[in-house]
Structure 1
Amino acid sequence: MKQNAIRAALAAVFLTAPVAGMAQETDLAKRVEQLAAELEKVKAELAAQRAQAAAAPRTAAPVPSTAPAQAMTNAPVSTAWATPAAALASDTVFSGYGEVNYNRPVRNASGTQTDVRRAVIGIQHRFDDKTKVVAEFEWEHGVVSASDKGESEVEQLYVEREFNGGLRGKAGLFLMPVGLLNQTHEPTAYYGVERNFVETAIIPTTWREAGLGLSGEFGDGFAWDTGLTTGFDLSKWDPASGEGRESPPGSIHQEGQLAKSRDLSLHGALNWRGYPRLLVGGSVFTGKAGHATPGFAANDARLTLLDLHTRFTPGAWDLSALWAYGRISNTEALNATFVGNPTPVPSSFAGWYLQAAYKLWQSGDYVLSPFARFESFNTARSYAAQPAGLGVPATPYERVATIGANLMVGQGVVLKADYQKFRQDKSLDRINLGLGFAY
């Protein structure tokens, strides 16, 4: 910035200085010599700073505790928040990811659509070797306006500080450390065109809360993450819409938008990587969701969500499994006010999946990995008891089989194709194509 100012001053001198009179020319020459000397001084200072930065290596940003270890070389690659070697000399790093998807229903071709699913810009700035700010901004569905379906949102915005002994603390809006996908959700980091149903309907990816968090490591490969944050707002539940049936927690999360905070929530996660290429872990999140809302019938309702997950990448294989279970308590009085509506509040929802991928072919920086995934999930597994004739029956589990392949192009671009078969609602069977990138 200082060099630019000096150059601008030089340009201003040459362009605006009068050319008449020897006295003026002499004054101009003196000013040019003075500015040139100052420029040489600044150049010397910058050279010294570069030499100092090269002699003192920076500390890369820690990988989120629930993200698959990057040593698992056969897994899809997440690059959006990695710190490139070329960027280590910079205090501010820009990153991003995006995806464009094509979905063609098998039984209803008129429903075929192409969507700019999301475009994300990330900014990470290091104030020093121990303190950084992380921000992530997302646009969904191509166009954002009052009459369109697009969304514009702040996905993350937090400050993190590293302390002695590997302890890290953060404050702001950050992703919850749950499952395998929530913290590592770039299109290069997972198999298939669409994110799996269990980690979108049961665990509402990308799920973030505002608050305080602590994380660290101990023992042989153990990592922990805990915090006190905002939670869900059950008063947002709309029994007349189908949003709650698509994802109970997704329909009532607050995303840091004027979030009710009378009732705060606790979360904790524990992961173990003590064996090569193996990750085993779990998480729990719990908090009241009524916030002492005046006239609300479920101020004592509590939402609890937990998961168990594992990932193993022996040789060319990439194997993973996840189970998630959610419960909303004390909903009887609230559902009594929803009688006659199609979507009361469920007392439980759950799901699980198994997935296997294999690195079948590699040529240069091209890698082809076929995969198969089977998942079972239910967003209305059970309801609290209601008087005879007034309750809504629980829904059956939906089961989805997905087969397809990811073609990685280098470390930052992926082409995807898959076919999804639904057991309950066969009208949802579809073919998907996708393009994704992360940098």
Structure 2
Amino acid sequence: EIERLKAQSKQTDAKIEATASAVERGGNSGWSSKTSIGGYGEHHFNHFKDKDDQVDAHRFVVYIGHEFTDTIRFFSEVELEHSLAGDGKPGEVELEQAFIQWDYAQNHNVTIGQFLIPVGILNETHEPDTFYGTERNNVEGRIVPTTWWETGVMLGGEILPGLTYNLAVHSGLEIPVPPSSSAFAIRSGRQKSAEANAEDLAYTARIKYTGISGLELAATAQQQQDVTQGALPGEDAEGTLLQAHARYSIAGVTLTAFAAQWDIDGDTFELAGADEQEGAYLEASYKITPKLGVFVRQSEWDMRAGGSADTEIEQVTAGVNYWLHERVVLKADIVDHKPPSGTATDNDGFNLGVGWSF
């Protein structure tokens, strides 16, 4: 009887070991081990001198990614803006990214699908714990315009250590024209890959250098034959975007210089002064401790720079970031807003925010 019990015990141990091995193999090769989930979000309180105060669940974003093989991967991003979406609601539900990326050669890849345009600083990296200020800066928001995604094909890779490139062909802007209330606004021209008019595609190229510790230099150029997608009969509103920035960090201090400019052809844009739209900012920040940082930013932007009227907007923003965790941040800043002469609304105020990413 003892021998029989010993034999049964050995059989049981063998079954347990086999089951554990099967579970382990399944965990290593199953979809769950290859799939990642993340996201970010932020809540804001905004106080304005000449407008009502506002509380906003500004963004709630979920990432889902999957690695099919070591060289083929999928990434997606879905965002809910301003808490509520639908008819008469202030927000939107948006698919910001959904693409396949294939490493077709060592240090070189191709991205196919819906992706963020490789331009500026915030457009590709805009999680709230990665930048200073409660709100994203207006130069990158209105001139670039962040957040900006399109659908197409993009090549990327590393040419030399620290020197990378991107070349993309993708859907383009459809900038509104009169009588639209948002006529000539670059930001309003984002089609967001929602049954986007693709009569005129756009072409983007970027070069970036990060070969020196703490330094980032980058330049982007984009060309589109008609940024209105044919909305102005008899006119080709050819648009060219040029953008460049430099950023250097050392001993907790980060200095940033950023500039972007649109040049748009066509009599309609020229008569409105919207044939040139430009912006620039300088920012200095200092991380006093790993948790506490302060910053000041001087910004200027002009969406009617081609006209003779005073349409330039200036803004100075200064504030503090406090990281409860490296990916959880509290923010506070004050804004000195200088609108063009003759503009009644004054957007001076202060902002409070909390943001996270994971």
Q: Same fold (TM over 0.5)?
A: yes
Q: Which residue of 2 aligns with 1:354?
A: 282
2:37 and 2:122 map into 1 onto residues whose CA distance is 22
Matched, 1:321 2:257: yes
Matched, 1:44 2:44: no
CA deviation after TM superposition for structure 1 residue 427, in Å: 1.2
Query: What is the CA RMSD across the aligned residues, in angstroms?
Result: 2.5
TM-score normalized by the length of structure 2: 0.89
| Amino acid corresponding to residue 355 of structure 1 in structure 2 | E
Q: Which residue of 2 aligns with 1:71?
A: none
Q: Which residue of 2 aligns with 1:432?
A: 351
CA deviation after TM superposition for structure 1 residue 225, in Å: 0.7
Q: Which residue of 2 aligns with 1:97?
A: 40
CA deviation after TM superposition for structure 1 residue 281, in Å: 1.0
Q: Which residue of 2 aligns with 1:255?
A: 192
Aligned partners of 1:94 and 1:123 also within 8 Å: yes
Q: Deviations over 1:364-420 (max 9, x none)?
A: xxx11010000111011115xxxxxxxxx5443111001101001112110000000
Q: Measured at CA, do residues 183 and 273 of structure 1 come closer, stay the same or move farther in structure 2, by a change above 3 Å?
A: same
Aligned partners of 2:41 and 2:61 also within 8 Å: yes
2:324 and 2:91 map into 1 onto residues whose CA distance is 28
1:290 and 1:314 map into 2 onto residues whose CA distance is 40
Q: Which has the higher helix share?
A: 1
Name which of 373, 378, 399 aligns with 2:297: 373
Name which of 314, 334, 340 aligns with 1:399: 314
2:116 and 2:229 map into 1 onto residues whose CA distance is 26
Name which of 287, 293, 311 aligns with 2:224: 287
Q: Which residue of 2 aligns with 1:60?
A: none
Name which of 193, 206, 210 aligns with 2:134: 193
Matched, 1:303 2:239: yes
CA deviation after TM superposition for structure 1 residue 125, in Å: 0.6
> After the TM superposition, which residues 26-41 of structure 1 pair with which residues of structure 2 at under 5 Å, given as runs?
41=18
CA deviation after TM superposition for structure 1 residue 298, in Å: 5.2
Q: Measured at CA, do residues 255 and 238 of structure 1 come closer, stay the same or move farther in structure 2, by a change above 3 Å?
A: farther
Query: Share of identical aligned residues, percent?
Result: 30
2:216 and 2:301 map into 1 onto residues whose CA distance is 23
Matched, 1:119 2:60: yes
Q: Measured at CA, do residues 335 and 401 of structure 1 come closer, stay the same or move farther in structure 2, by a change above 3 Å?
A: closer
Secondary structure at the residue paired with 1:198?
A: helix
Aligned partners of 2:247 and 2:257 also within 8 Å: yes
Gaps of 5+ in 2: 1-13
| Amino acid corresponding to residue 398 of structure 1 in structure 2 | I
Aligned partners of 1:96 and 1:438 also within 8 Å: yes
Secondary structure at the residue paired with 2:186?
A: helix
Matched, 1:218 2:159: yes
Q: Deviations over 1:58-93 (max 9, x none)?
A: xxxxxxxxxxxxxxxxxxxxxxxxxxxxxx982110
Q: Measured at CA, do residues 290 and 352 of structure 1 come closer, stay the same or move farther in structure 2, by a change above 3 Å?
A: closer
Q: Deviations over 1:300-324 (max 9, x none)?
A: 2112111110111111101111000
Q: Which residue of 1 aligns with 2:92?
A: 151
Q: Which has the higher strand share?
A: 2
Secondary structure at the residue paired with 2:172?
A: coil
Aligned partners of 2:198 and 2:229 also within 8 Å: no
Q: Measured at CA, do residues 43 and 203 of structure 1 come closer, stay the same or move farther in structure 2, by a change above 3 Å?
A: same
Q: Measured at CA, do residues 431 and 187 of structure 1 come closer, stay the same or move farther in structure 2, by a change above 3 Å?
A: same
2:192 and 2:309 map into 1 onto residues whose CA distance is 28
| Amino acid corresponding to residue 98 of structure 1 in structure 2 | G
Q: Deviations over 1:167-190 (max 9, x none)?
A: 110111100010111000111111
2:195 and 2:91 map into 1 onto residues whose CA distance is 20
> After the TM superposition, which residues 399-418 of structure 1 pair with which residues of structure 2 at under 5 Å, given as runs?
399-418=314-333
Q: Which residue of 2 aligns with 1:419?
A: 334
2:171 and 2:186 map into 1 onto residues whose CA distance is 13
Aligned partners of 2:227 and 2:239 also within 8 Å: no
Matched, 1:237 2:152: no
Secondary structure at the residue paired with 2:346?
A: helix
Secondary structure at the residue paired with 1:428?
A: coil
2:95 and 2:155 map into 1 onto residues whose CA distance is 21
| Amino acid corresponding to residue 357 of structure 2 in structure 1 | A
Gaps of 5+ in 1: 1-36, 54-87, 337-343, 384-392
Q: Which residue of 2 aligns with 1:227?
A: 168
CA deviation after TM superposition for structure 1 residue 218, in Å: 1.5
2:258 and 2:268 map into 1 onto residues whose CA distance is 33
1:49 and 1:240 map into 2 onto residues whose CA distance is 57
CA deviation after TM superposition for structure 1 residue 114, in Å: 0.4
CA deviation after TM superposition for structure 1 residue 335, in Å: 7.5
CA deviation after TM superposition for structure 1 residue 142, in Å: 1.0
Q: Which residue of 1 aligns with 2:10?
A: none
- Deviating above 3 A after TM superposition, structure 1's stretches of 4 or more consecutive aligned residues are 37-43, 290-293, 333-336
TM-score normalized by the length of structure 1: 0.73
